[in-house]
Amino acid sequence: MMNSFIQQEINKRTRWVYFSNYRWIAHVAYWTWVLVIGTLTRVAVPITPGVLLNHFVMSNIFIFIFYYLYCLFLIPYFFKRNKNLQFWILLTVSFLVLTISNVYFDKRYLRLSEYAGEGMDMGFWKNYLRIVSGYVFNFLFFTMLLFFMEKNEENSLFSELEEEKKEIELVKLDLLKTNISPDFILRSLKQLKKTAADEQPYTPQSIITFSELLRYRLYRGKQTQTPLQEEIAALQTFIEFITFNSQNNNLIAELEISGDVKDKFVVPLVLVNILEIFCKVIPENPAQLSLKLLIKEDLLMMTIIYDKKAEGQLFADLEQYGTDYSLLYGEMIDFTFDNCEDETCRIEMKMKLLSGKA
């Protein structure tokens, strides 16, 4: 069903490509040129409706059929579908049938007034050769016209595709920024439910920190930059939330900050998202996560030491994080990680601080 619909849309666009986006004006201009050159400047008698009917309409009816059979049927349904043999056979047959029919039609039905300096008393072959030469000359001109229309459509389609690609990439990148792991959300909600059922004293604060974290994600995920102070506050809130249930999460996180955070800006959620990676899969044994932030004038340096090797899902998530943020921000962020010989994982990230101007 979907394939059929797509094919219909392709056929529709391909078939009417020579008339869309104001290209019909070129057809009007062409036939106006035929009217002026072929009729108005050549007829030696006063121009009347009867003269226009015979010299313009009836005289060009067969070549009109040939041209638009060619561009509306033969090209889209045969040539563009690589049915080359059928295309050339049908084109040749159409040409022969219409040119021969044109000769007999002119002889029987056409009532032409005298042309200036042109005799009309011709035999079949002379008449046929005259018509064929007119077809060929005008067909070459018409084909050139169609070629330039195709190039115009190609450029237009290329521009549309580029715009669509940009829009798709923007949507993907927005999703990358605001993406929240479903596993993390479900596990967090279960954690809150369990602490509430067990009447743990930290339950109210745990709910507040979780809601603050979600609120920050929803708000800052739509921004192009965020104050570094707010990003670090969100990171600290996240660490606090992890700490409330560290026994079940098997994870303890610590944060150390060096440098001045005031009047500095960073890409949103860059710190929060990397911490979430370590919360998606619960380690079998208790793990320690040490985060160190070094803030310079125009650079933020982050070092994370995880006291276990990054394997399986964690390794894949760290790789994906690096790929995603490279797509998002290019050279603004340098992200590397490596499993060390002492069975730990070291993650290093450098990111350029932003100016604070939207």
> What averages of pLDDT result for each successive group of 10 residues across the chain (358 residues)?
52 69 84 84 78 83 89 85 90 92 83 52 78 85 83 76 73 60 70 76 82 80 82 89 79 90 86 85 85 91 90 88 81 88 89 76
Whole-angstrom distance, CA of residue 128 vs CA of residue 96: 10
| Superfamily of structural domain 179-352 | Histidine kinase-like ATPase, C-terminal domain (3.30.565.10)
CA-based end-to-end distance of the chain: 46
In 3D space, the residue among 257, 254, 255, 306 whose CA is nearest the CA of residue 278 turns out to be 306
Is pTM beyond 0.75 here?
no
Residues of the chain with CATH 3.30.565.10: 179-352
Give the CA diameter of the chain. 112
- Can you give the pLDDT at residue 124? 80
- Can you give the pLDDT at residue 294? 93
Supply the pLDDT for residue 331: 83
Q: How far apart are CA 193 and CA 214, in angstroms?
A: 17
Tokens 């490279």 belong to 326
CB 76 within 8 A of CB 68: no
Structure tokens at 98: 């219409």
Is residue 99 within 8 Å of residue 128, measured between CB atoms? yes
Residue 232 CB partners (closer than 8 Å, separation 6+):
257, 261, 271, 293
Measured distance CA(79)–CA(73) in Å, rounded: 9
The pLDDT value recorded for residue 176 is 60
The pLDDT value recorded for residue 2 is: 43
pLDDT, residue 244, reads 81
Q: State residue 305's pLDDT score.
A: 92
